[in-house]
Amino acid sequence: MSKKVFEQIKSLITESRNPKTFRIDSLSTAQILKLINSEDKTVPQIIEKQIPQIAKAVELLVKTFQTGGRLFYIGAGTSGRLGILDAAECPPTFGSDPTMIRGIIAGGYKTLIRSKEGVEDNFKAAGNDLAKVKLNKKDILVGIAASRRTPYVLGGLKYAKKIGCKTIFIYCNPHLTSPIKIKADVEIPLIVGPEVIMGSTRMKAGTAQKLVLNMLSTAAMIKLGKVYQNMMVDLKATSQKLVERSKRTIMIVTGVDYKTASSYLKKADGNVKTALVMILAKVDKKKAKRRLEKARGFVRRALEK
Protein backbone atom coordinates (compact mmCIF):
# COMPACT_ATOMS: atom_id res chain seq x y z
CA MET A 1 0.00 0.00 0.00
CA SER A 2 2.75 2.45 0.96
CA LYS A 3 4.53 1.80 -2.36
CA LYS A 4 1.32 2.69 -4.24
CA VAL A 5 1.07 5.96 -2.32
CA PHE A 6 4.76 6.61 -3.04
CA GLU A 7 4.15 6.17 -6.76
CA GLN A 8 1.10 8.46 -6.65
CA ILE A 9 2.95 11.19 -4.80
CA LYS A 10 5.96 10.87 -7.09
CA SER A 11 3.73 11.68 -10.07
CA LEU A 12 2.21 14.84 -8.56
CA ILE A 13 3.26 18.19 -10.03
CA THR A 14 3.04 19.82 -6.60
CA GLU A 15 5.48 17.20 -5.29
CA SER A 16 8.06 17.82 -8.02
CA ARG A 17 11.08 20.09 -7.73
CA ASN A 18 10.88 23.60 -9.10
CA PRO A 19 13.96 24.20 -11.29
CA LYS A 20 13.73 27.93 -10.65
CA THR A 21 14.32 27.52 -6.92
CA PHE A 22 17.12 24.93 -6.73
CA ARG A 23 19.45 27.48 -5.12
CA ILE A 24 16.93 29.27 -2.93
CA ASP A 25 18.80 28.26 0.23
CA SER A 26 21.87 30.21 -0.92
CA LEU A 27 20.11 33.47 -1.76
CA SER A 28 19.80 36.70 0.22
CA THR A 29 16.55 37.46 2.02
CA ALA A 30 15.44 39.91 -0.67
CA GLN A 31 16.25 37.41 -3.42
CA ILE A 32 14.24 34.68 -1.67
CA LEU A 33 11.25 36.98 -1.39
CA LYS A 34 11.48 38.08 -5.03
CA LEU A 35 11.56 34.45 -6.10
CA ILE A 36 8.49 33.56 -4.03
CA ASN A 37 6.71 36.64 -5.35
CA SER A 38 7.52 35.84 -8.97
CA GLU A 39 6.02 32.36 -8.55
CA ASP A 40 2.93 33.76 -6.81
CA LYS A 41 2.31 36.09 -9.76
CA THR A 42 1.56 33.09 -11.98
CA VAL A 43 -1.44 31.99 -9.89
CA PRO A 44 -4.08 34.54 -11.07
CA GLN A 45 -3.27 33.75 -14.71
CA ILE A 46 -3.92 30.06 -14.09
CA ILE A 47 -7.22 30.86 -12.36
CA GLU A 48 -8.29 33.09 -15.27
CA LYS A 49 -8.28 30.06 -17.56
CA GLN A 50 -10.78 28.34 -15.27
CA ILE A 51 -13.34 31.15 -15.11
CA PRO A 52 -15.87 29.19 -17.26
CA GLN A 53 -15.72 26.31 -14.77
CA ILE A 54 -15.87 28.65 -11.80
CA ALA A 55 -18.93 30.31 -13.33
CA LYS A 56 -20.65 26.91 -13.61
CA ALA A 57 -19.86 26.29 -9.96
CA VAL A 58 -21.32 29.67 -8.93
CA GLU A 59 -24.55 28.97 -10.81
CA LEU A 60 -24.83 25.63 -8.99
CA LEU A 61 -24.29 27.38 -5.65
CA VAL A 62 -26.93 30.01 -6.37
CA LYS A 63 -29.47 27.37 -7.39
CA THR A 64 -28.66 25.41 -4.23
CA PHE A 65 -29.18 28.42 -1.96
CA GLN A 66 -32.37 29.47 -3.73
CA THR A 67 -33.89 26.04 -3.12
CA GLY A 68 -32.97 25.99 0.57
CA GLY A 69 -29.80 23.95 0.27
CA ARG A 70 -26.50 24.43 2.10
CA LEU A 71 -22.87 24.63 0.98
CA PHE A 72 -20.26 22.45 2.66
CA TYR A 73 -16.53 22.75 2.03
CA ILE A 74 -14.48 19.66 2.84
CA GLY A 75 -10.71 19.28 2.93
CA ALA A 76 -7.66 18.23 4.91
CA GLY A 77 -4.82 20.40 6.20
CA THR A 78 -4.48 23.74 4.41
CA SER A 79 -7.38 22.95 2.08
CA GLY A 80 -9.69 22.24 5.02
CA ARG A 81 -8.64 25.38 6.86
CA LEU A 82 -9.27 27.54 3.80
CA GLY A 83 -12.79 26.14 3.45
CA ILE A 84 -13.57 26.85 7.09
CA LEU A 85 -12.12 30.35 6.76
CA ASP A 86 -14.34 31.18 3.79
CA ALA A 87 -17.41 29.78 5.55
CA ALA A 88 -16.68 31.72 8.74
CA GLU A 89 -16.33 35.04 6.91
CA CYS A 90 -19.66 34.92 5.05
CA PRO A 91 -22.08 35.69 7.94
CA PRO A 92 -20.42 38.98 9.00
CA THR A 93 -19.80 40.01 5.38
CA PHE A 94 -23.09 39.05 3.77
CA GLY A 95 -25.47 38.51 6.68
CA SER A 96 -25.87 34.85 5.73
CA ASP A 97 -27.11 32.27 8.22
CA PRO A 98 -24.10 30.53 9.87
CA THR A 99 -25.59 27.16 8.86
CA MET A 100 -25.81 28.16 5.19
CA ILE A 101 -22.09 27.74 4.47
CA ARG A 102 -19.94 25.44 6.58
CA GLY A 103 -16.47 23.97 6.46
CA ILE A 104 -15.43 20.46 7.45
CA ILE A 105 -11.81 19.49 8.04
CA ALA A 106 -10.26 16.03 8.39
CA GLY A 107 -9.67 15.32 12.07
CA GLY A 108 -12.23 17.84 13.30
CA TYR A 109 -11.90 21.43 14.42
CA LYS A 110 -8.92 20.73 16.69
CA THR A 111 -6.82 20.28 13.53
CA LEU A 112 -7.53 23.92 12.65
CA ILE A 113 -4.85 25.08 15.07
CA ARG A 114 -2.64 22.03 15.25
CA SER A 115 -1.90 19.76 12.31
CA LYS A 116 -2.56 16.09 12.81
CA GLU A 117 -0.94 13.90 10.22
CA GLY A 118 -2.73 10.79 9.01
CA VAL A 119 -6.33 11.98 9.35
CA GLU A 120 -6.44 12.79 5.64
CA ASP A 121 -5.93 9.10 4.84
CA ASN A 122 -9.25 8.03 6.35
CA PHE A 123 -11.56 7.53 3.35
CA LYS A 124 -14.63 6.54 5.39
CA ALA A 125 -14.33 9.32 7.99
CA ALA A 126 -15.62 11.96 5.57
CA GLY A 127 -18.88 10.11 5.04
CA ASN A 128 -19.34 9.83 8.80
CA ASP A 129 -18.64 13.56 9.23
CA LEU A 130 -21.11 14.48 6.48
CA ALA A 131 -23.76 12.20 7.94
CA LYS A 132 -23.41 14.04 11.27
CA VAL A 133 -24.28 17.36 9.61
CA LYS A 134 -27.13 15.64 7.74
CA LEU A 135 -25.88 16.35 4.24
CA ASN A 136 -28.76 15.76 1.81
CA LYS A 137 -29.50 15.98 -1.90
CA LYS A 138 -30.57 19.62 -1.60
CA ASP A 139 -27.06 20.57 -0.48
CA ILE A 140 -23.80 21.00 -2.40
CA LEU A 141 -20.34 19.74 -1.43
CA VAL A 142 -17.09 21.42 -2.50
CA GLY A 143 -14.11 19.11 -2.17
CA ILE A 144 -10.72 20.84 -1.91
CA ALA A 145 -7.54 18.81 -2.36
CA ALA A 146 -4.31 20.14 -3.83
CA SER A 147 -3.08 16.63 -4.64
CA ARG A 148 -6.42 15.47 -6.08
CA ARG A 149 -5.84 12.13 -4.31
CA THR A 150 -6.63 12.95 -0.65
CA PRO A 151 -8.65 9.92 0.56
CA TYR A 152 -10.69 11.96 3.05
CA VAL A 153 -11.86 14.40 0.36
CA LEU A 154 -12.51 11.66 -2.20
CA GLY A 155 -14.50 9.78 0.41
CA GLY A 156 -16.60 12.87 1.03
CA LEU A 157 -17.28 13.39 -2.66
CA LYS A 158 -18.21 9.73 -3.11
CA TYR A 159 -20.63 9.90 -0.17
CA ALA A 160 -22.21 13.09 -1.54
CA LYS A 161 -22.74 11.60 -4.99
CA LYS A 162 -24.22 8.46 -3.46
CA ILE A 163 -26.99 10.46 -1.76
CA GLY A 164 -27.61 12.63 -4.85
CA CYS A 165 -25.85 15.77 -3.61
CA LYS A 166 -24.25 18.11 -6.17
CA THR A 167 -20.46 18.24 -6.06
CA ILE A 168 -17.63 20.59 -6.99
CA PHE A 169 -13.98 19.52 -6.91
CA ILE A 170 -11.07 21.98 -6.64
CA TYR A 171 -7.60 20.51 -7.11
CA CYS A 172 -4.08 21.48 -8.21
CA ASN A 173 -2.82 18.39 -10.03
CA PRO A 174 -3.83 16.81 -13.35
CA HIS A 175 -5.69 13.50 -13.40
CA LEU A 176 -3.59 10.64 -12.07
CA THR A 177 -3.89 6.89 -11.81
CA SER A 178 -5.88 6.16 -8.66
CA PRO A 179 -8.05 3.27 -7.48
CA ILE A 180 -10.74 5.81 -6.52
CA LYS A 181 -12.53 7.35 -9.50
CA ILE A 182 -14.58 10.42 -8.66
CA LYS A 183 -16.30 12.62 -11.24
CA ALA A 184 -17.71 15.80 -9.72
CA ASP A 185 -20.50 17.84 -11.32
CA VAL A 186 -18.02 20.70 -11.76
CA GLU A 187 -14.25 20.31 -11.61
CA ILE A 188 -11.91 23.27 -11.19
CA PRO A 189 -8.31 22.26 -11.91
CA LEU A 190 -5.78 24.85 -10.74
CA ILE A 191 -2.53 23.45 -12.10
CA VAL A 192 -0.06 25.84 -10.44
CA GLY A 193 3.01 23.68 -11.07
CA PRO A 194 5.87 22.89 -8.68
CA GLU A 195 5.93 24.81 -5.43
CA VAL A 196 8.81 27.07 -4.42
CA ILE A 197 9.54 24.49 -1.72
CA MET A 198 8.82 20.98 -3.00
CA GLY A 199 5.47 19.70 -1.74
CA SER A 200 4.59 22.82 0.29
CA THR A 201 1.05 23.21 -1.04
CA ARG A 202 0.21 25.91 1.48
CA MET A 203 1.99 28.20 -1.00
CA LYS A 204 0.84 28.51 -4.64
CA ALA A 205 -1.77 25.77 -4.37
CA GLY A 206 -3.18 27.29 -1.17
CA THR A 207 -3.19 30.76 -2.71
CA ALA A 208 -5.04 29.48 -5.78
CA GLN A 209 -7.62 27.70 -3.63
CA LYS A 210 -8.16 30.78 -1.47
CA LEU A 211 -8.70 33.02 -4.51
CA VAL A 212 -11.22 30.62 -6.04
CA LEU A 213 -13.14 30.23 -2.77
CA ASN A 214 -13.32 34.04 -2.60
CA MET A 215 -14.77 34.05 -6.11
CA LEU A 216 -17.30 31.29 -5.43
CA SER A 217 -18.82 32.71 -2.26
CA THR A 218 -18.63 36.38 -3.28
CA ALA A 219 -20.15 35.87 -6.73
CA ALA A 220 -22.89 33.66 -5.30
CA MET A 221 -23.77 36.27 -2.69
CA ILE A 222 -23.89 39.00 -5.33
CA LYS A 223 -26.30 36.84 -7.35
CA LEU A 224 -28.45 36.48 -4.22
CA GLY A 225 -28.78 40.25 -3.75
CA LYS A 226 -26.34 40.59 -0.87
CA VAL A 227 -24.51 43.45 -2.62
CA TYR A 228 -25.74 46.78 -3.98
CA GLN A 229 -23.40 48.47 -6.47
CA ASN A 230 -20.12 47.24 -4.94
CA MET A 231 -21.10 47.56 -1.30
CA MET A 232 -22.05 45.08 1.44
CA VAL A 233 -25.68 45.84 2.27
CA ASP A 234 -26.76 42.67 4.05
CA LEU A 235 -24.15 42.67 6.78
CA LYS A 236 -25.24 42.07 10.35
CA ALA A 237 -24.21 45.00 12.57
CA THR A 238 -22.95 42.81 15.39
CA SER A 239 -20.02 45.02 16.39
CA GLN A 240 -19.39 48.74 16.68
CA LYS A 241 -17.21 48.58 13.56
CA LEU A 242 -20.02 47.01 11.54
CA VAL A 243 -22.55 49.53 12.88
CA GLU A 244 -20.35 52.39 11.71
CA ARG A 245 -19.67 50.65 8.39
CA SER A 246 -23.44 50.36 7.92
CA LYS A 247 -23.86 54.10 8.49
CA ARG A 248 -21.02 54.89 6.10
CA THR A 249 -22.55 52.67 3.43
CA ILE A 250 -25.86 54.52 3.75
CA MET A 251 -24.06 57.86 3.54
CA ILE A 252 -22.08 56.90 0.44
CA VAL A 253 -25.03 55.44 -1.46
CA THR A 254 -27.61 58.09 -0.59
CA GLY A 255 -25.51 61.20 0.08
CA VAL A 256 -27.09 61.88 3.50
CA ASP A 257 -25.05 63.07 6.46
CA TYR A 258 -23.95 60.98 9.47
CA LYS A 259 -26.85 62.01 11.69
CA THR A 260 -29.45 61.19 9.03
CA ALA A 261 -27.81 57.85 8.26
CA SER A 262 -27.83 56.96 11.95
CA SER A 263 -31.49 57.90 12.23
CA TYR A 264 -32.58 55.81 9.23
CA LEU A 265 -30.50 52.83 10.33
CA LYS A 266 -32.30 52.94 13.66
CA LYS A 267 -35.71 53.26 11.98
CA ALA A 268 -34.82 50.29 9.77
CA ASP A 269 -33.96 48.16 12.82
CA GLY A 270 -30.31 48.06 11.76
CA ASN A 271 -31.06 46.75 8.26
CA VAL A 272 -28.99 48.62 5.67
CA LYS A 273 -31.10 47.48 2.70
CA THR A 274 -34.29 48.74 4.29
CA ALA A 275 -32.68 52.06 5.18
CA LEU A 276 -31.42 52.53 1.63
CA VAL A 277 -34.84 51.89 0.06
CA MET A 278 -36.52 54.15 2.63
CA ILE A 279 -34.23 57.03 1.71
CA LEU A 280 -33.88 56.54 -2.06
CA ALA A 281 -37.50 55.57 -2.75
CA LYS A 282 -38.82 58.00 -0.12
CA VAL A 283 -41.03 55.41 1.54
CA ASP A 284 -41.60 54.25 5.10
CA LYS A 285 -40.14 51.08 6.63
CA LYS A 286 -43.19 48.94 5.87
CA LYS A 287 -43.22 49.87 2.17
CA ALA A 288 -39.44 49.52 1.91
CA LYS A 289 -39.62 45.97 3.29
CA ARG A 290 -42.46 45.10 0.94
CA ARG A 291 -40.44 46.34 -2.03
CA LEU A 292 -37.45 44.28 -0.96
CA GLU A 293 -39.58 41.18 -0.52
CA LYS A 294 -41.02 41.54 -4.03
CA ALA A 295 -37.50 42.16 -5.36
CA ARG A 296 -36.19 39.04 -3.58
CA GLY A 297 -33.78 41.14 -1.57
CA PHE A 298 -32.20 43.03 -4.46
CA VAL A 299 -31.91 46.73 -3.62
CA ARG A 300 -31.55 47.76 -7.26
CA ARG A 301 -34.76 45.96 -8.23
CA ALA A 302 -36.59 47.33 -5.20
CA LEU A 303 -35.72 50.85 -6.28
CA GLU A 304 -36.80 50.22 -9.88
CA LYS A 305 -40.22 49.10 -8.69
Question: What domains lie within the chain, and their CATH numbers?
Answer: 2-223 (3.40.50.10490), 227-304 (1.10.8.1080)
What is the per-residue pLDDT across 84-102, written as a single tens digit (0 to 9) for each? Answer: 999 999 998 999 999 999 9
The yes-or-no verdict on residue 176 having pLDDT over 70 is no
CB 116, CB 129: distance < 8 Å: no
Select from 152, 33, 159, 57 the least CA-distant residue to 104: 152
Enumerate long-range contacts of 258-265, CB under 8 Å, 24 or more apart: 265/237
| Statement: residue 178 has pLDDT above 90 | no
Q: What percent of the chain has pLDDT over 90?
A: 81
Over residues 272-293, the pLDDT tens digits come to: 999 999 999 999 999 999 999 9
Give the pTM.
0.91
**Residues annotated as part of the active site:** 89, 120
- Torsion angle of C-alpha atoms 194, 39, 116, 157, degrees rounded to 10: -70
